[in-house]
Structures are given as C-alpha cells and as structure tokens.
C-alpha cells in the first residue's frame, strides 16, 4: 500500500470551495504549513475550517484569512489575529467558539464512529443554548455532536508510505484526533521514512486513518512566545 | 499593603500538596510555579498535551514543538509525558487533575465564574477554560479584588457571560483569601496592612469573616 503523493499541491486535490476542513495544530505548533500554503495557491474559498486557533496575521490559517478563503472558523481561541478581528467585525467571517476539550472530543467522536457524546463543558453558560441537556448521576451534561468534515489535514513528525504517523512533543495536540476524523485525511510529515522503520509500538496514528501522505519541506515552525531563562 | 501579583501567586502556592497534578492558567496562575514550596512535589499539566512541564528553556534551546497552553516555549522534566488534546481534556474531565488555578474577570458568591467574554468587545474565545472549570475537583481563582474602575470583582451575581457555574472553591486576591461557602465569600486571611473594613467595602457579594481570620504570612 502506497499513499505517498509528490507534494502539497497534489495532496490537496479534490478540496473545493465550500468544503469543511479540519486543520491540526495548537497556535502555530504542529500546523500543516505546506498544505496551508498550497490551499492559498489553489485559491479555494468559502471554506469552513475546524481548527483550535486561526493562526496569526501572516502565518498559519492567517494566510488563508488574508486571501478571504475562510467563510467560517470553528475554534476555541482566536486571539492573535488582527485580520481575523477585522473580518469578524465587518461580518465577512463567521465564527463558532467551542470549549477546547469539546472541540477535541467532537473530533475524537468522529474518528471513533460515535455520532455524539455528552460533555460537561459549558453547562449553565451560553455555550449550552439550544443543546439537549441530560442528567447523569446528578450532574448535567450537554449533547455534543461529532464533527463532519470533508478533509482533515494534519502535520506529523515522521510517517511512512502506509500512512503511519508519529508526532513530536506538544506538536501532537489536535493532529491525532483530526487524522482519525477526516473523510479524507492528508498528512504532511517532516520525515517520510521507509516502511518498517517506525516501530509498531511507537505509532500514534495507524495508517488506516491516513489517505495521502507527503514529505513536507521548508518548515518555518514559528514560535509565538519565545520565553527563555539565562544559563 | 495589598499584594502584588507575585505575592498572590506565592500565597496560592501554599495550597499545593505533595502529589498534586496541577493546571495553571495564563497570567498570575503561571507565576505559582515559581513558588512551589520545598518538599512539595507537584506535576504541572499543560492542556495542549504535556504532564510534567518544566521551566523555560535556556536561550538558544527553544523548540517550536514544545510549548505550553500560553504558547510559550518550555521544557520537559524527567518523567514527563506527551499526549493529544482529546486525552488531555479527558484527564481533566475525569477529575484526574487535582487543582486548577485560573484568572477571572468576576466571581460570584455561589462560585460562578466569568472570564472569557465581555459583550461589545472582540471575543477571543474560551480556550480550555470552560472544560477546566466544569470538571476540576478544586478551582482557585487568582485575581485583583477590584477592576481598574475600582468596582468589586467579588459579586452577588456575575454580570458578564459565565464560564462555569458553582465551581470556584477559593479566591485569592490582592486583599485576602476567601473560601466559597453556602454563606458566600468567607474571608480566611487578609493581606498584611489591609483592614477588614477595606475588604468589606470592596466586596459586593455576600461576605462573612472567619472567626479565626488572620493576617497572611509569607
């Protein structure tokens, strides 16, 4: 089985305007940089993007916002982006804010084949408006539905032609559950290694969830908050 | 003298117990890590996927793949573990995290908290705050007692959209330490030089003063 494609442009074939995409990453950590650049080149628009954050003005999903490719963002925190704010206030962009754990779990539910889950976050707040509430063991929970997405785009550290993936450090974040949730899942990796090189014990995402994989290039891996101490 | 931010963090650090798994929010809560008492071993959870968060890296050793929930570069410690976001909030939801410390715009005397949205202003999102407050066993709020206009942030009812209901257990402000009880805010300690009258004047919610109320010791 060989799921390898040549590059990001080939990997995003079939992504059309109006589709719903999941994009992995937390802040700028573990984002699919190559595929975002390819989506900007392709110029698809009216996209609904499910991603924890919306990038910064000149990087990550911010690059797609600059080109007005995003119709709706589904995120937990969108703080670091002036263009995002401008489009939101002018009504060009819709945003649905979801508690971070609920966002992760709605992706997870999708990848586990569960249509919905009952979750605690947001009970008694405006997040609960319009949602079914059910009491279990004396506590109220909200019914939250699994996300439906056309494509999931994730970034991993290492991967092989079978689609097996290993993530690095906290760049794992939303990538594994989004990889599991895509109808079609695209993985870009820093190192595409020969099949057999990744130890089966160490694989985070089994290749069954991944449809296309490619060796990414020119990773910038920007740091949002560079904090250090002196030696 | 009212406490400064470092002192609020220092006071909260005394609540840490050996063996606790702790999630520290952004702002004053982050500073708590600098004052963990000697002999107390805690494991810091960062909700973007790390248990065993270490200090900031040395200059030149920053790694873009290793950040905390505030997107700051950090390090690991011996015994650290990485995991994905679903598992991270799974452990929070399942009550495995012993203590959550977070900031707030308002706290009500029944334990309601508001810290994510001001109507009319750009809404940035709740991040993981709603998940944390809904599930953590023990929630301590670190905040100033009053807002920049001098109005009390300890209220009978939150005026801002809620983050969570009846969840805060304790509030540490620049003026004192308060438990949330069925009688409202119970003042256990006051900051050095702060009077009970000042606390009464600046607390809008129901307030009771503990019989054994005492001055905070550092």
| Residue A39 pLDDT | 98
Say what the pLDDT of residue B123 is.
84
d(CA B75, CA B96): 22
d(CA B152, CA B149): 9
Is the distance from CB of A179 to CB of A187 less than 8 angstroms? yes
Q: Which of B48, B93, B131 sits opposite A170 (nearest CB)?
A: B48
A173–B56 CB contact, under 8 Å: no
Share of chain A above pLDDT 90, in %: 94
- Whether A216 and chain B come into contact, CB under 8 Å, resolves to no
Residue B15 catalytic?
no
Q: What proportion of chain A, given as a percentage, has pLDDT over 70?
A: 100
Exposed e or buried b per residue across B148-160, where buried means at least 16 C-beta atoms within 10 angstroms of its C-beta: eeeebbbbeebeb
Nearest CA in chain B to A96: B125
Q: Model confidence over A96-150: pLDDT tens digits?
A: 999 999 999 999 999 999 999 999 999 999 999 999 999 999 999 999 999 999 9
The answer to whether A29 contacts B125, with C-beta atoms less than 8 Å apart, is: no
Q: Looking at beta carbons, which residues of chain A come within 8 Å of B96?
A: none
**In this structure, are residues B81 and B121 in contact, taking their beta carbons and an 8 Å threshold?**
no
> What tokens were used for A105?
């779990």
Q: Is the pLDDT of residue B31 over 80?
A: yes
Could A120 and B85 be called an inter-chain contact, meaning their C-beta atoms sit closer than 8 Å?
Answer: no
Neighbour-count burial for A129-154, b at 16+ CB within 10 Å, e otherwise:
eeeeeeeeeeeebbebebbebbbbbb
CB interface of A with B, residues 65-124, below 8 Å: 75-79, 85, 88-89, 97, 99-105, 107-108, 119-124
Residues with Cβ within 8 Å of residue A137, at least 6 apart in sequence: none
Q: Is A217 helix (H, G, I), strand (E, B) or coil?
A: coil
d(CA A119, CA A87): 31
CB B102 within 8 A of CB B129: yes
Q: Which residues of B touch A32 (CB under 8 A)?
A: none
* Burial label, B145 (beta-carbon count in 10 A; 0-12, 13-18, 19+): buried
Joined tokens for residue A94: 């819709």
Q: Where are the beta strands (DSSP E) in chain B?
A: 21-24, 43-46, 50-53, 76-82, 99-102, 106-108, 113-114, 139-142, 154-155, 170-172, 176-181, 184-190, 207-215
What is the sign, positive or negative, of the torsion defined by CA atoms of A124, A125, A126, A130? negative
Per-residue confidence (pLDDT) for residue A80, from 0 to 100: 75
Q: Which of A27, A76, A103 sits opposite B71 (nearest CB)?
A: A27
B204 to chain A nearest CA, in Å?
Answer: 22
* Average pLDDT estimate for A81-106: 93
Backbone angles phi, psi at A62, to 5 degrees: -55, -35
Return the sign of the alpha-carbon dihedral for residues A70, A71, A77, A82: positive
Note the Cα A35 to chain centre separation in Å: 12
Q: With contact defined as beta carbons under 8 Å apart, do A26 and A174 qualify?
A: yes
Residues in chain B within 8 Å Cβ distance of A85: 122
Contact A187, A155 (CB under 8 A): yes
Put simply, the answer to whether B126 touches A107 (Cβ < 8 Å) is no
At residue B102, the 3 state secondary structure works out as strand
Q: How many residues does chain A have?
A: 231
Output the CA–CA distances (angstroms, integers) from residue B166 to A107, A186, B107, B155, B180, in the order listed: 28, 42, 10, 13, 9
- Kindly give the pairing relationship between strand B170-172 and strand B154-155: unpaired
What is the per-residue pLDDT across A136-183, written as a single tens digit (0 to 9) for each? 999 999 999 999 999 999 999 999 999 999 999 999 999 999 999 999
Name the closest residue on chain B to residue A120, using Cα atoms.
B134
What is the arithmetic mean of pLDDT over A16-40? Answer: 98
State the nearest Cα–Cα gap between B169 and chain A, in angstroms.
Answer: 17
Alpha-carbon gap: A184 to the closest alpha carbon of chain B (Å):
20
The strand pairing partners of A186, in sequence order, are: A153, A212
Question: Is there a contact between A48 and A71 (Cβ–Cβ < 8 Å)?
Answer: yes
Question: Of all residues in chain B, what percent carry a pLDDT higher than 70?
Answer: 100
Taking the Cβ of residue A6 and every Cβ of chain B, the question of whether any pair is shorter than 8 Å is answered with no
Which residue's structure tokens are 């290793």?
B66
Residues of chain A found within 8 Å of residue B82, distances taken between Cβ atoms: 167, 169-170, 172
Of the residues B15, B47, B106, B189, only one is catalytic, namely B47
What 8-state DSSP symbol labels residue A15? -
Structural Rg of chain A based on CA atoms:
18
Contact flag B130-A125 (C-beta cutoff 8 Å)? yes
Cβ–Cβ of B131/A127 closer than 8 Å?
no
* Reported pTM: 0.96
Is the ipTM here above 0.85? yes
CB A213 within 8 A of CB B58: no
Token pair listed for A173? 């974040």
Pairwise CB contact (< 8 Å): A124 & B122: no
- Whether A203 has its CB under 8 Å from any CB of chain B: the answer is no
The tokens for B37 are 């008492």
CB contact under 8 A, A120 and B131: yes
Closest-approach residue (CA) in chain B for A223 = B64
> Cβ contacts (< 8 Å) between B66 and chain A: which residues?
169-170
Element (H, E) at A111: helix A100-111
CB neighbours of residue A157 within 10 Å:
18
- pLDDT per position as a tens digit, B153-201: 999 999 999 999 999 999 999 999 999 999 999 999 999 999 999 999 9
Secondary structure (3-state) at B181: strand
């Amino acid at each position: 089985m060989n799921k390898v494609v040549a590059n990001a442009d080939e990997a995003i074939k079939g992504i059309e305007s109006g589709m719903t995409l999941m994009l992995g990453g937390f802040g700028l950590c573990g984002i699919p940089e190559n595929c975002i650049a390819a989506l900007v080149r392709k110029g698809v628009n009216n996209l609904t993007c499910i991603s924890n954050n919306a990038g910064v003005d000149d990087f990550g999903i911010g690059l797609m916002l600059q080109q007005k490719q995003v119709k709706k963002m589904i995120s937990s925190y969108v703080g670091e982006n002036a263009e995002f704010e401008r489009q939101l206030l002018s009504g060009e962009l819709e945003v649905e804010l979801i508690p971070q754990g609920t966002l992760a779990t709605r992706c997870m539910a999708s990848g586990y084949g569960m249509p919905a889950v009952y979750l605690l976050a947001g009970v008694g707040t405006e997040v609960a408006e319009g949602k079914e509430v059910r009491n279990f063991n004396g506590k109220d929970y909200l019914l939250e539905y699994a996300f439906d997405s056309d494509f999931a785009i994730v970034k991993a550290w290492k991967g092989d032609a079978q689609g097996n993936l290993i993530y690095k450090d906290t760049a794992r974040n939303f990538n594994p559950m989004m990889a599991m949730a895509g109808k079609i899942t695209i993985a870009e990796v820093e190192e595409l290694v020969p099949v057999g090189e990744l130890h089966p014990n160490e694989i985070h995402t089994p290749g069954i969830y991944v449809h296309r994989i490619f060796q990414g290039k020119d990773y910038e891996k920007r740091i949002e908050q560079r904090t250090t101490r002196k030696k | 003298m009212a406490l400064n931010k470092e002192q609020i963090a220092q006071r909260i650090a005394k609540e840490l117990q050996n063996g606790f798994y702790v999630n520290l929010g952004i702002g004053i809560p982050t500073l708590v890590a600098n004052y963990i008492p000697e002999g107390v071993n805690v494991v810091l959870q960062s909700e973007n996927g790390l248990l065993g968060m270490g200090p900031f890296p040395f200059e030149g050793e920053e790694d873009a793949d290793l950040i905390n929930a505030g997107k700051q570069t950090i390090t690991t410690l011996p015994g650290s573990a990485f995991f994905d976001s679903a598992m991270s909030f799974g452990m929070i939801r399942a009550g495995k995290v012993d203590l959550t410390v977070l900031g707030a715009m308002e706290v009500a005397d029944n334990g309601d908290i508001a810290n994510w949205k001001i109507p009319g202003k750009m809404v940035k999102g709740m991040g993981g705050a709603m998940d944390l407050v809904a599930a953590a066993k023990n929630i301590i709020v670190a905040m100033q007692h009053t807002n920049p206009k001098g109005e009390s942030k300890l209220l009978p009812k939150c005026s801002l959209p809620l983050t969570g209901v009846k969840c805060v257990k304790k509030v540490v402000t620049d003026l004192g330490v308060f438990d949330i009880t069925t009688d409202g805010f119970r003042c256990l300690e006051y900051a050095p030089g702060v009077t009970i009258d000042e606390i009464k004047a600046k607390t809008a919610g129901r307030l009771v003063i503990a019989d054994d109320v005492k001055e905070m010791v550092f």
